[in-house]
């Protein structure tokens, strides 16, 4: 199926559609959720489908603005244009209604939008392939098309409402609930999740707390959940770096320790806390970590030798010698 891609320019409060090149539209049967966490203000969108790289066209989000899921016969422009409209002050319903009005084939679209206030709007065209539908609640919308069963949106909504924890965990629970209802009638292939901060940073690439995609996998939700765990670990590492830049060594070490607990399989998450401990005079505490790191890969010892020249470790030959002796263990 083809159509003129929705495009427009903002002129005051008016939407002015104009012609665009004809292009084939991917049929992305899928289930998705857009939501806002009322406690943190975080905004997110998550999706799973039997379609390659579903996250590259379905999921859109911007910190302090909102999130969009565009699916069924996908027109990806609903994502950036919807965010643009919400950024300009339009409500999700105003943004969605304007885009649908400018669309020559709204009957095949399934689109959900949410803004930074938690207002939602959703559209399921009457030509979306069954089972298709949506369910909205306080600060969220769940939508699905080409499902094996028509129970998917309700199951997603129930899981989202009853799951405790952070927004990323609640979004993940909604996806898992959809799959428990058999999900996409064709099976499963890819998944994605984006979570952004509730406040704007002035540029669209900042404030992205989670931005993860599984492009092609036999168990995409399991893989996405694994990536979320790793991303959480690296968020703690990044927080530790921020504390370190502020000379808050104890807080930095606390954040680094949390990262190691979440993702103990990665030696790098042990290496940098070990260097901080050693550089802070807490050498005895650092040695067990260095021992584990070197046992995984002795190249970390070579890297340690290079850090003093870069100003990233004390230029103390005796200290280096003591640590590097662990390579002989």
Domain shared by 88 and 189, yes or no: yes
Q: What is the pLDDT of residue 15?
A: 34
User: Number of C-alpha atoms within 13 angstroms, CB side, residue 288?
Assistant: 3
306 part of a folded domain: yes
Q: Which domain holds residue 273?
A: 234-328
Find, among 276, 183, 167, 270, the residue nearest to 228 by Cα.
Answer: 167
144 part of a folded domain: yes
Find, among 312, 227, 271, 324, the residue nearest to 256 by Cα.
Answer: 271
Domain shared by 290 and 197, yes or no: no
Pair 104, 127: CB distance under 8 Å: no
* Residue 232: cis peptide before it, omega within 30 degrees of 0: no
223 part of a folded domain: no
Domain shared by 155 and 264, yes or no: no
Find, among 59, 68, 70, the residue nearest to 27 by Cα.
Answer: 70
225 part of a folded domain: no
Q: What is the pLDDT of residue 173?
A: 99
228 part of a folded domain: no
Q: What is the pLDDT of residue 17?
A: 33
- Percentage helix, strand, coil for the chain under 3-state DSSP, each rounded to 5: 45, 25, 35
Q: What is the pLDDT of residue 29?
A: 72
**Residue linked to tokens 């095949």:** 108
Domain shared by 67 and 125, yes or no: yes
Q: Kindly report the CATH number assigned to the domain that includes residue 135.
A: 3.60.20.10
Q: What is the pLDDT of residue 2?
A: 35
> Which DSSP string corresponds to 247-310?
T-HHHHHHHHHHHHHH-TT-THHHHHHHHHHHHTT-HHHHHHHHHHHHHH-THHHHHHHHTGGG
Domain shared by 187 and 243, yes or no: no
Pair 20, 9: CB distance under 8 Å: no
Domain shared by 181 and 266, yes or no: no
- Tens of each residue's pLDDT in the chain, 329 residues: 333 334 333 322 233 332 333 455 667 678 999 999 999 999 999 999 999 999 999 999 999 999 999 999 999 999 999 999 999 999 999 999 999 999 999 999 999 999 999 999 999 999 999 999 999 999 999 999 999 999 999 999 999 999 999 999 999 999 999 999 999 999 999 999 999 999 999 888 899 999 999 999 999 999 999 999 999 999 999 999 999 999 999 999 999 999 999 999 999 999 999 999 999 999 999 999 999 999 999 999 999 999 999 999 999 999 999 999 999 97
The tokens of 42 are what?
Answer: 């975080």
Q: Kindly report the CATH number assigned to the domain that includes residue 273.
A: 1.25.40.10
Domain shared by 200 and 249, yes or no: no
Q: What is the DSSP letter of 326?
A: G
Q: What is the DSSP letter of 166?
A: -
Q: What is the pLDDT of residue 12?
A: 28
According to DSSP H, which parts of 28-151 are helical? 55-58, 78-87, 92-102
222 part of a folded domain: no
According to DSSP H, which parts of the chain are helical? 55-58, 78-87, 92-102, 152-162, 167-180, 220-245, 249-262, 268-279, 283-296, 299-306, 317-324
* Residue 297: cis peptide before it, omega within 30 degrees of 0: no
**Residue linked to tokens 């943004």:** 95
pTM of the entire predicted model: 0.89
Domain shared by 62 and 166, yes or no: yes
227 part of a folded domain: no
Domain shared by 58 and 165, yes or no: yes
Domain shared by 49 and 136, yes or no: yes
- Domain count of the chain? 2
Domain shared by 17 and 126, yes or no: yes
122 part of a folded domain: yes
Last residue of a domain, one of 192, 217, 242: 217
Domain shared by 213 and 251, yes or no: no
Q: What is the DSSP letter of 195?
A: E
């Amino acid at each position: 199926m083809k159509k003129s891609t929705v495009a427009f320019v903002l002129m005051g409060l008016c939407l002015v559609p104009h012609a665009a090149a004809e292009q084939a539209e991917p049929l992305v049967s899928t289930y998705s959720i857009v939501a806002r966490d009322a406690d943190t203000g975080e905004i997110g969108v998550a999706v799973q489908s039997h379609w390659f790289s579903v996250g590259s066209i379905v999921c859109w989000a911007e910190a302090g603005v909102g999130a969009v899921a565009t699916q069924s016969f996908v027109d990806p422009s609903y994502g950036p244009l919807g965010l643009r409209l919400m950024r300009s002050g339009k409500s999700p319903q105003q943004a969605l209604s304007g885009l649908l009005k400018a669309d020559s084939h709204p009957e095949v679209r399934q689109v959900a939008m949410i803004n930074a206030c938690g207002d939602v709007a959703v559209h399921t065209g009457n030509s979306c392939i069954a089972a298709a539908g949506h369910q909205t609640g306080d600060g969220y919308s769940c939508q699905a098309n080409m499902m094996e069963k028509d129970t998917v949106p309700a199951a997603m909504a129930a899981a989202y409402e009853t799951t405790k924890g952070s927004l990323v965990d609640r979004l993940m629970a909604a996806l898992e609930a959809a799959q428990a209802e058999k999900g996409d009638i064709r099976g499963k292939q890819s998944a994605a999740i984006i979570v952004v901060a509730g406040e704007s940073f002035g540029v669209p690439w900042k404030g992205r707390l989670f931005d993860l995609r599984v492009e092609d996998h036999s168990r995409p939700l399991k893989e996405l959940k694994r990536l979320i765990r790793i991303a959480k670990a690296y968020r703690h590492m990044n927080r530790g770096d921020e504390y370190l830049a502020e000379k808050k060594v104890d807080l930095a070490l606390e954040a680094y320790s949390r990262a190691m607990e979440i993702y103990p399989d990665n030696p790098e998450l042990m290496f940098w806390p070990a260097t901080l401990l050693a550089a802070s005079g807490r050498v005895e505490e650092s040695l067990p970590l260095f021992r584990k790191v070197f046992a995984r890969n002795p190249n970390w010892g070579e890297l340690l030798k290079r850090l003093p020249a870069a100003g990233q470790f004390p230029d103390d030959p005796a200290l280096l010698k003591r640590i590097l002796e662990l390579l002989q263990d």
